[in-house]
Amino acid sequence: MDWAVIICLVGGGQEINTGEAGISEWLNAVKDGFSKWEIYISPNLTDSEYSAIDSISALKQNCEVKFNSDLHLAVSMRSFRAENVSLFVKNILDLNTEEAQNTLSLISENYPIVLTRDLAKAKGWLKEKARGSERYGLIVSSQAQRLKPFGIDVKSPMNPVNWFLDGKDDVRSSYYLEDVATEFQVQGLELDWACVTWDGDLRYSNDEWKTFQFKGSKWQNINHTERKKYLVNAYRVLLTRARQGMVIVVPEGHLEDHTRKSEYYDSTFQYLKEIGIKVM
């Protein structure tokens, strides 16, 4: 046999840790090792979400590359209630306010999304929405280290097996709304209903995202481009875990806590509110 067809299904915007290079490395591997291949790819790979423009340009120098729009799988099987949830999240993170508003109008009837500053309200909303064995849980960024006043400690050990599989009577399960999962535990998995609690690690400010990590006793800027991307992608993962709907919590700041100033949270809350997410 002197020929073959190889089909690769690869998602974008999911790189959340050092060593995860995403689609660009697939393209680089083809360029370096298989220059005689005919390559058919989606034109959507030129989108900023995939960070593959340079790799595509380099690939064209070595291989025959053809774009085919039919190769883009636009419908997410995860969000069966609304096919545009991933697009909505992309618009939020890309800061495309108008497009986010338009997409929200398409999904809001079948896929409820609400916004609150009260974690207790969010927990009540999850319990109210879930039916039967539908699973719900709290998910947060691994960099969300100043949610401790709300009983959320990302460094507290949790067992993802118990969290995802155990029943409502097990304190280790997601149903108990005590242990939280981060992007590392939930990547590639899903819940029916999710509460995404937003910390000061990712802040909306002056039409851009500011990225931070908490070290010692204070927040520090993340300046490295790759690490900035990882943090934004962490929120992409979190905001796309729910199959049926989600609540987003952006907590209030605290005057007596220099690590939880109101300015770390208020602009993000207002940005999400202006998009049109219903405030609870």
Task: Convert the pLDDT of each residue in 254-266 to its tens digit.
Answer: 999 999 999 999 9
**Average pLDDT score, the chain:** 90
Is residue 99 within 8 Å of 84, Cβ to Cβ? no
Average pLDDT, integer, range 103-109: 94
Question: In this predicted structure, what is the pLDDT of residue 141?
Answer: 97
Neighbouring residues of 111: CB distance < 8 A, sequence distance ≥ 6? 79, 81, 82, 85, 244, 245
Q: What is d(CA 61, CA 31) in angstroms, rounded to the nearest whole number?
A: 8
Q: Percent of the chain having pLDDT more than 90?
A: 67
What confidence category does residue 2 fall into, taking pLDDT thresholds of 50, 70 and 90?
Answer: confident
Phi-psi region of 159 (alpha: psi -120 to 50; beta: other; left: phi over 0): beta
Across residues 5-19, what is the average pLDDT?
A: 69
Residues in CB range of 170: below 8 A, 6 or more apart: 162, 176
Q: Over the stretch 178-229, which tens digit does the pLDDT of each residue have?
A: 999 999 999 889 999 999 999 999 999 999 999 999 999 999 999 998 899 9
What pLDDT is attached to residue 268? 98
Residue 279: C-alpha distances to residues 112, 121, 136, 271 (Å)? 12, 11, 20, 12
Q: Which two tokens stand for residue 210?
A: 């500011």
Q: How many Å apart are CA 27 and CA 61, to the nearest integer?
A: 12
Q: Cα(91)–Cα(14) distance, rounded to whole angstroms?
A: 15
pLDDT higher than 60, residue 13: no
Contact 127, 138 (CB under 8 A): no
Confidence check: pLDDT of 19 > 60: no
Q: pLDDT tens digits, residue range 48-86?
A: 666 678 888 888 887 888 888 888 876 655 566 667 898
Tell me how far apart the alpha carbons of residues 174 and 108 are, in angstroms, rounded to a whole number: 25
Q: Dihedral of CA 45/49/52/53: which sign?
A: positive
Structure tokens, 29: 């591997």
